[in-house]
Amino acid sequence: MAKLAIAENTTAGPILLDALSALSDRAHDVITRLRATVFAPGEEKLVDLRFTITKAAEMVGRTSEAIRQAEADGRLPAPRLGPSGRREGYSLTEINHMRDVFGTRPSRGPNDPPLILAVQNFKGGVGKSTLTCHIAQFLALKGYRVAVIDCDSQASSTTIFGLNPDIEVDDEQTLLPFFRHAGPPDLKYAVRSTAWTGIDLIPANLGLYQAEYEAAARLRGNPQSLDRLRLGVESMADAYDVVLLDPPPALGMLSLAVIRAANALLIPTPPSTVDFASTAHFLRMIVETLEIMEGHLGARGFHFLRVVATKVDEGKSAHTQIRDMMHAVFGADMLSASLLDSAEIDNANVQLRTVYELTGLATKTYERCRNNLDRLNGEIELLIRKAWPSHRSELRRLGLG
């Protein structure tokens, strides 16, 4: 029996292929059942965040009174009332409409460049996808238009946004055909909306692994092909304020293409000596790689490049020591906030959700985690806005420029 072949394989004999296949089937069954439980009664992930008028006022940047007044004089639609006659709570779409009416939506100006941010480190498991999805959702809550491009065949961001990459994503709907076929570098075919207002996604699935070979084959004798992803991202970026790239954890063709496509870089690094060493290697690699690419394809700078400490457990002296050392080494090139290791991120993960999707929680752990994410993402938002010339006078006025 296939099931027993692995369990009883105490000798060094061969593990049968059908045993591995049964293991894989069982793992996929668990995922399907987990999705059915957490997305019940439907089969799709729904994100239905509701905000009170006080929260809406804070998000819109006007007082509750100003919102009530606009509802009364018809500039805003009348609020939806529940059976008790109280406001039902505003959706993010309604809050964005309020921002448009009051002129407080913080989008980039028509001459500001779309920010194309890669969250990259060749090391695996450092928090790239977790950070990417939480940045995307923080920015969407602020009213920015965001796209996430999942460039990793492990499809973590795709999964976090609620898709089952094995079933709901076809190879043709990922970046794969873009790397496989010649033709105009246009990525619009792969963009789809998500359960999140303001966030679109180019999903990934396991088949995207093939793109490594396709891109490597294309590169031979044709260094310009490394710029194909950059041109593809530029073909769609105009519709967004920020495009986030979630690359695979390896130095391969896709990772190089991502470095070339990005105009800003975040380098997540957990506070361990091994991870720090990986980041030091990563920095050396990108210097060498960018030099070579520059020779073939021309210079391309970053609006910003920052190291960010991730998965930091402040209860561990080793973590805080290494983080302090990182601050001493990287100085202003490191974000002052760190992504703290948090049970809340794990709890959200178990439910195939992010911290920004958990609602109705007022526990201390939740508040701490949410405040930590907001502070970190606030720093990133400021760096993004500094890249936009039309925001500079406002930032100076606020003392942030």
Ligand X SMILES: Nc1ncnc2c1ncn2[C@@H]1O[C@H](COP(=O)(O)OP(=O)(O)OP(=O)(O)O)[C@@H](O)[C@H]1O
**Residue 159 binds Mg ion (CB under 5 A):** no
Residue among 61, 79, 125, 177 that touches ligand X (CB under 6 A): 125
User: Which DSSP letter does residue 109 get?
Assistant: P
**Residue 373 binds ligand X (CB under 6 A):** no
Within 340-391, residue ranges assigned H as helices are: 343-350, 364-386
Measured CA to CA, the distance from residue 159 to residue 165 in angstroms comes to 7
Measured CA to CA, the distance from residue 244 to residue 265 in angstroms comes to 10
Closer CB to ligand X, residue 99 or residue 311? 311
**Residue 128 binds Mg ion (CB under 5 A):** yes
Residue among 96, 120, 129, 137 that touches ligand X (CB under 6 A): 129
Which one of the spans 11-19, 128-136, 168-176, 233-241 is the region binding ligand X (CB under 6 A)?
128-136
**Residue 142 binds ligand X (CB under 6 A):** no
Is-contact 139 186, C-beta < 8 A?
no
Measured CA to CA, the distance from residue 126 to residue 249 in angstroms comes to 9
Closer CB to ligand X, residue 203 or residue 249? 249
Which one of the spans 78-86, 208-216, 225-233, 337-345 is the region binding ligand X (CB under 6 A)?
337-345
**Residue 129 binds Mg ion (CB under 5 A):** yes
Largest CA distance in the chain: 79
- Which one of ligand X, Mg ion, none interacts with residue 339, CB within 5 to 8 A by kind? ligand X
Kindly write out the interface string for residues 238-277 of this chain, putting x where it contacts ligand X by CB under 6 A and - elsewhere.
-----------x----------------------------
**Residue of 307, 286, 299, 287 lying closest to 383 (CA atoms):** 307
DSSP 74-94: TSSPPPPB-TTSSB--B-HHH
Find all residues with CB under 8 Å of 15, minimum gap 6, and list them: 5, 6, 9
Closer CB to ligand X, residue 198 or residue 249? 249
Residue among 225, 342, 354, 377 that touches ligand X (CB under 6 A): 342
Q: Could you give the strand order of the β-sheet that contains 242-246, starting from the edge strand earlier in sequence?
A: 192-193, 199-202, 146-150, 242-246, 115-119, 264-269, 305-309
Quote the least distance from Cβ 45 to Mg ion, whole Å.
Answer: 18
**Residue 137 binds ligand X (CB under 6 A):** no
**Residue 346 binds ligand X (CB under 6 A):** yes
**Residue 126 binds ligand X (CB under 6 A):** yes
Measured CA to CA, the distance from residue 261 to residue 245 in angstroms comes to 9
> What number of chain residues touch ligand X (CB under 6 A)?
19
**Residue 205 binds Mg ion (CB under 5 A):** no
Measured CA to CA, the distance from residue 266 to residue 128 in angstroms comes to 9
- Which one of ligand X, Mg ion, none interacts with residue 124, CB within 5 to 8 A by kind? ligand X
> Which three-class secondary structure state does DSSP give residue 51?
strand
Which of the residues 145 through 174 are near ligand X (CB under 6 A)? 152, 154, 156
- Which one of ligand X, Mg ion, none interacts with residue 311, CB within 5 to 8 A by kind? ligand X
CA 36 remoteness from chain centre: 24
The contact set with Mg ion (CB under 5 A) reads 128-129, 156
The contact set with ligand X (CB under 6 A) reads 124-130, 152, 154, 156, 249, 310-311, 339, 341-342, 345-346, 349
